[in-house]
Structure 1
Amino acid sequence: MNPQQTEHDEDQRSLAEAITSFAQRRDHAATDPWPELVAMGLPGLLVPEALGGLGLDGGSMHAVMESLGRNRLTTPFVVSAVLCTRLLLELADEGQQARWLPALSSGEHVLAFAHGEPQGEHLPRHLSTHARREGDDWILSGRKTVVPHGGESTAWLVSARVGSNETALFWVDAAATGLRVERYPCIDGSTGADLWFDELRLPAAAWIGSTGMNVTTAIAAATDAATAGLCAESAGLQSTLFDMTLDYVKTRRQFGVALGSLQAIQHRLAEMLVAVEQSKSLSWLAARSLDDDATIRTRSVAAAKVRCAESGRFIGLQSIHLHGGMGMTDELPVGRCVKRLLAIAHSWGDARHHVGRLVDLMRATPTMTAPAPGSQSLSLAAVA
């Protein structure tokens, strides 16, 4: 991405406008948006053109995710087209990429990342799910919980411990024998899943990567990419909530005057607008940082997630309050937007988790190098 780029370019705006055009003509209550996104080629957004994708970058991902949020479209895009795609690009060999990435781009497969375990850590350091070699096959045992969009997937990338401390990834198809899947609805309208592996036998080709690869580092980079995508979606949702609330207070009359004419209401709207703009700025910074070194990426993504989680809660509460009791109902889009913001705030690390990442980074690098002249990088103090 152009280091001086500070907003979406023409191609990125075209992607966002295509999603908006689709959203405006669909029935939100009856239509699954995923097939239309597949028809647009969006599942292959980050897949190289040679493998059937669009070969675009983090800025394009941000444009898509922000537009999905602004138009209230909850899809498995961020887990399949961002997180799992980046894992395959980083870890899979050429044969695996040629086999699986075109299937993702075409919509034949929808992938989810099964990493969380019952101990409840956002990114578990010690995996209880384990795999052992038996002849040419792998035997997988353990359990994965609360897999985001796991109930909508046709396959999963599953993390497991191999040997004493090595982390590995495996492709697990939904039809595998020895796999039990429990699907359930989530608060935001998506479908989560818990997975049980009871001596699940996998072929050698299901192992993604090779001995000696740093899978943990690849997982950290991919989950940061997904988190940056969620921050963009959060910013889009917050923008929509603000616009809906602004329109409402302009027309809702109380004691003979429009609510929006009251100075106290205007002050609250101003605070909401500031919060939205902060989320938009930091989510854009996070998307720009995905190909930078780990320190810059961690700093930018963690700061964006903290800001978006806090702003999302603030915008949601203010929107409900200003709409009154009907803001709590499912009949009004406000309630559904707030539920999605709540789900985003707790996906791949809540605000407390990412504050901890910033604290760890500050302890590891107590003095941050000043940005070069003209650089748009921010200091840790500025983004935290």
Structure 2
Amino acid sequence: MSTQTAPLAAHVAVEPDTQKAAYAKVFWRIVPFLMLCYVVAYLDRVNVGFAKLQMSQDLNFSETVYGLGAGIFFLGYFLFEVPSNVILHKVGARIWIARIMVTWGLISGAFMFVSSAPMFYALRFLLGVAEAGFYPGIILYLTYWYPSHRRAKIIAIFMSAIPISGIFGNPLSGWIMDSFHGTSGLAGWQWMFLIEAIPAIAIGIVIYFYLDNGIRDAKWLSAEHKAVLEYEIAQEEKTKEGHHSVAGVFADNRIWLMSFIYFCFVMGQYALTFWMPTLVKATGVVGNFHIGLVSAIPFLCAVIAMNLIGRSSDRHRERRWHLVVPALMGAVGFTVAATSTSTTVAIIFLSIAAAGAISCAPLFWSLPTAFLAGTGAAAGIALINSVGNLAGFVSPYLIGFLKDLTGSTQVGMYALAAILVAGAAAVLTTSPKLVNK
């Protein structure tokens, strides 16, 4: 079932107050709920970073084993993301996103039974398969409601879920691990996986009854509001260069450029989410709960930065420099934090790194969605996201390998800084006329 809107009249008179009221309804109906879904998704994806503080010692995992296990999630994610997004486009977001959340909740809870490296790898891979399509599916879903000139701000708000999951999830994970350790013969990390899996299953069920596939299905919108929203989407569709086929997406050089740019930015994002507890602990902070509190600071800075930059990008309808500057901020933050022996200085520059690196992802999606349309948009968004998220495999594994090799995270942080600079340079090769919409 396609989620595209019905054909429109050639002209719809749009009153500013009516338009504002329509978008306000859409925002409050879907955006906070989608944020909640993504907070749960991201927490279940990256809570392995906190589990590492106990699990690696309990199961005798090396840094390389942990890095490979953390990253192998993205191999499953990569293989199944494009077909998952195409299915979502055909059957609708309500059914497919509900299926995704329930499935990954069940697999995430199964991590409490991990007893060996192969089992760890297998479950991380299956978690990636289960979650494939969620994030690009939401990005695609937002294109059904918002035209490109409104999208950077909305995606930035939605993606605030990433640092929010760190702000609340890190202290929560640390508290669960400290408080429940030894209860009923289970380690703290086992309780953490079990407890944090429950919301995904519960919310997945709610999605089936709450989420609408598109504007036409929204019974909470008046006919006038539907017409206003559909008209804006239709106007944007006219500016795109035609609908890409799935095969055409793979042959489009712009898609591969976008994939490279996103790969660079995701490298920085996942370095923070998977290694933040370890980096904070290395500065001398003691106790899982205290590590969680301190590591929440950079994510709080990221929430503020990504929303301010997203609003500025939409207001000026400028995308390239609003990506380049945060990427360079991330590079500087990683470089200085890697060389600092002071907890205060390290946290300040990890905050700069988080504000820069995490801000890049929501701003990035204004680039490809400015020229993708139709089924090609479903496939193109999924392809870019799946290739880019291979960085989620490379980043933790690279840092873990380099730490085992050198005994320090410094070399890994320098490598990440260089990759962010390469991503910023690639952004400047895009045409302003193509992406500044």
Fold equivalence (TM over 0.5) = no
Which protein is richer in strand relative to its size? Answer: 1
Which protein is richer in helix relative to its size? Answer: 2
